[in-house]
Amino acid sequence: MSCDFLSLANVGVQKLRPYQAGKPTDELERELGITHIVKLASNENPLGLASSVKDALQSELATLTRYPDANGYYLKKALADKYDVNVDQVTLGNGSNDLLELIARAFVCSEDEVMFAQHAFVVYPLVTQAIGATAVAVPAKDYGHDLDAMAAAITDKTKLIFIANPNNPTGTFLEQDAIKAFLTKVPSDVLVVLDEAYFEYAMPSRRGNAIAWISEFPNLIVSRTFSKAYGLAGLRVGYSISRPEIADILNRVRQPFNCNALALKAAETVLNDEDYLQKSVALNNQGMEDLSAFFTDNGLEYIASMGNFITVNVNPLGDKQSGDQVYQALLQEGVIVRPITGYGLPNHLRISIGTHSENQRFKEALCNVLNLES
């Protein structure tokens, strides 16, 4: 006797497709028998783990038979001290993705609308569909957020707005004055999540301090992660900062041990490792300049990025290989990048910034695939 289990799932879940992460290097090795693979697909930090974190993790191993601190007090205290907020304003997540889902599950129901920009992070529509809410994707402006159009699209059904700054996968950046002006137009009962996963890579003179706005805009939630500039993608730890009343609600639906002991210790340690952070940003800046110049020299249009990745149009006239085809050809060269057809950009690829040698390997592979001269 069989059962159609899909029919038992929530309607929104029935229509979902699993999130497609960047292809792992060992998977490509199994498929094609290729070794010495370069992965520039998942916006990971190529610098390697901070030495301070290695030492901290070693000291934590003896505690692993015990559950971690369910409240993550020491990490929350470190974050509160760094950003001059109270501990009860901080919520921890298994990566910032966890927090995006927590926020949606805690506040949005099937009768509500969730707004985000075209070409924005794929998790926004995924969590919206999973809870059966209505997704409102506002057309992009120059590959980024059109805040005026988003403000005009707010209705009495709008419950939550996601804004990624810098945006993934396009790398576009919103100036602080523009975001603040947008917040003044949003009704107080509509939550705004400012997703700053790539915050540390943005130019210091332009990134501002949105956390300081929370006292003025109680409906603002700022989310960040340790996966990118801090190099802890494999440990999965992120955080949000909000009004205590919002954090309290999130903690009602948050799993009690959603951050493991190693993640908590590593994040607390690297948060104060300014030398590692500066080296990460410097390496990214060098790689960004290198790839930008390479694309310019070869007549390939790219989107100026404030993240640790750059998105390039590999088929500007739409008459040759699509982004997906170039992606597949690069796999044959042992280079993994990210196709973004699912983001509405079928002729683009997103390239994570790697080490100098990894970037060089990518350039050589792309020259082979596109028959470029340099």
Band of pLDDT at residue 215, cut at 50, 70 and 90? very high
CATH number of the domain at 51-271, please? 3.40.640.10
Average pLDDT over residues 254-281: 96
> Where are the chain's structural domains?
20-48+275-370, 51-271
Element (DSSP H or E) covering residue 332: helix 323-332
* CA 253/CA 273 separation, integer angstroms: 31
pLDDT at residue 246 is higher than 70: yes
Please write the tens of the pLDDT for every residue from 89-143: 999 999 999 999 999 999 999 999 999 999 999 999 999 999 999 999 999 999 9
Q: If we measure between CA atoms, which residue out of 242, 189, 172, 187 comes closest to residue 213?
A: 242
What's the pLDDT at 16? Answer: 62
What's the pLDDT at 8? Answer: 66
What's the pLDDT at 2? Answer: 76
Q: Which residue has the higher pLDDT, 246 or 36?
A: 246
**Do the Cβ atoms of 369 and 330 come closer than 8 Å?**
yes
User: Peptide bond before 244: cis, by omega within 30 degrees of 0?
Assistant: no
What's domain 20-48+275-370's superfamily in CATH? Answer: Aspartate Aminotransferase, domain 1 (3.90.1150.10)
Band of pLDDT at residue 373, cut at 50, 70 and 90? confident
**Do the Cβ atoms of 359 and 291 come closer than 8 Å?**
yes
Tell me the whole-structure pTM to 2 decimals.
Answer: 0.93
Please write the tens of the pLDDT for every residue from 5-37: 676 667 767 676 666 666 677 787 777 777 888
Strands 113-117 and 335-336: unpaired
What's the pLDDT at 116? Answer: 98
* CA 352/CA 371 separation, integer angstroms: 22
